[in-house]
Amino acid sequence: MRFFSLTLLALSAWAVGGVAVAAEGSKPNIVVLFADDTGWGEFGAQGNKEIPTPNIDSIAAGGVKFTDGYVTCPLCSPSRAGLITGRYQTRFGHEFNERGAADNFGLPVQQKTIADRLKTAGYATIGIGKWHLGWRQPEFRPTARGFDEYYGTMANSAFYNVRLVDTRKSPEPTPVEDDSFYTTDAYADRAVEFINEHKSEPFFIYLPFNAQHAPLQAPKKYLDRFPQLEGDRKIFAGMMSALDDAVGEVLGALEKNGLTENTLVVFLTDNGGPTKTTTSKNDPLRGSKATMLEGGIRVPFYMQWKGHLPAGEVYEKPVISLDILPTALAAAGAKPQAAEELDGVNLLPYLTGENEGAPHESLFWRFGKHWAVRHGDWKLVAANPDGLKTKLYNLAEDVGETNDLSDEHPEKVAELQKLYDQWNAENVEPKWKPGPETRKSRARRNRQQARKRAQQERVQEERAGVE
């Protein structure tokens, strides 16, 4: 299989600066499927037997499953900023979500996106789903960031009764009046339409679902698949099943149009699961969303390109969402950038066996006062829920991060601290920070959340047919 893959790449690619580039006329389609707030252990490919996810699992089975796949932040917007630019978002100040931010919230306009680069390379581009990279000013919106079209919501939303942007009709968010509209289903339908419309030209689909983010909402047809479950877990399972069906619709459209072997498909999630909110599970990892422990930043991560990448491969060296952009550019034959411009690397030669080294010697994270560095199997971290005292773990022996080895290996602590300090010196101050919360604003937020939960429960009961 490795020889077969290498032969294909040798016939269809040439190298510029160590980046494999597709030959003219053989540009593959690129599809990035990005789930929200889903725990490490929730998919079948991760070992979950409670909620079937055969379509998502098929991406891992037909391609590469990364055991040590990471995102750049354990929170929604910064994680997206890293993926879509191929650069650590702390290099350009996109470090937090927008709570309390002024009108300047948005992916800095100086940063080129994967859509910018692929559009320049001749791709039709569309974003479908949750944007969450700025919307108050027009220069932050998707169609100003390389996307020909956008269909989705500008930030976090419910799954029903949303304000939708469909740029075929209007650039502004418009209330959806269709009672049958459910975001996960609608996003899959739009992706299928786009594939059918652009099957004769190279296309790029960025599909960041709002599933599995709160609120918990799912149609009755999905809830009925889980009679053995109750309460929030039942709704979460229904949402997962809808997500898997949506992925299946996208994969099915590729297959129907004869595009499967000419499409690079990537599936991952934006951060670990917020277990207290949506029941999602990170086992065997510790920590959750908004923490720098493995449960916050290590995510399910699969890549498939049939006929070009080995099927059923399990890749154990660390990779990160930053790698998606340079990998896509290499597959597409897009003009390579100077090495210092991107933090991600082209994974293709590592996955085919052409390069047997590790894609990254070190990986880094900063999220306010919380930070981490992984170097080889060693990780130094200062993070909630453990406070800001640095702790040292050997992930090869202790993936659950339960045994702090700082006292036993002070030299390793010093080594990783130095690596982090050198990297952090290249970062900038955040362009916005979460606003301070007063007692009055906290009480107001709690009242708003209570009203929102009550409304969501009423909607869910109506949609599920519960009296």
Active site residues: 76, 132
Rounded CA separation 211/239 (Å)? 7
Q: How many CB atoms lie within 10 A of CB 349?
A: 22
What is the DSSP annotation of 49-87?
-SS--HHHHHHHHTSEEETTEE-S-SSHHHHHHHHHHTS
- Identify the CA nearest to 266 among candidates 328, 216, 313: 328
- Helix, strand, or coil (residue 114): helix
Instruction: Find out whether 175 and 166 touch, Cβ atoms under 8 Å.
Output: no
- Helix, strand, or coil (residue 27): coil
Question: Beta 29-35 vs 203-208: how paired, if at all?
Answer: parallel
Rounded CA separation 253/196 (Å)? 7
Question: Beta 149-153 vs 163-166: how paired, if at all?
Answer: antiparallel
Rounded CA separation 335/337 (Å)? 7
Q: Which residues lie below 8 Å from residue 170, measured CB to CB, with a gap of 6+?
A: none
Rounded CA separation 236/278 (Å)? 7
Q: How far are the Cα atoms of 15, 114, 168, 198, 209 from residue 334, in angstroms, in the given order?
A: 12, 11, 27, 19, 27
Q: How far are the Cα atoms of 69, 317, 320, 375, 399 from residue 363, in angstroms, in the given order?
A: 11, 12, 8, 7, 16
Q: Provide the token pair at 411.
A: 């030299």
Q: Which residues lie below 8 Å from residue 76, measured CB to CB, with a gap of 6+?
A: 36, 37, 97, 130, 132, 156, 213, 270, 271
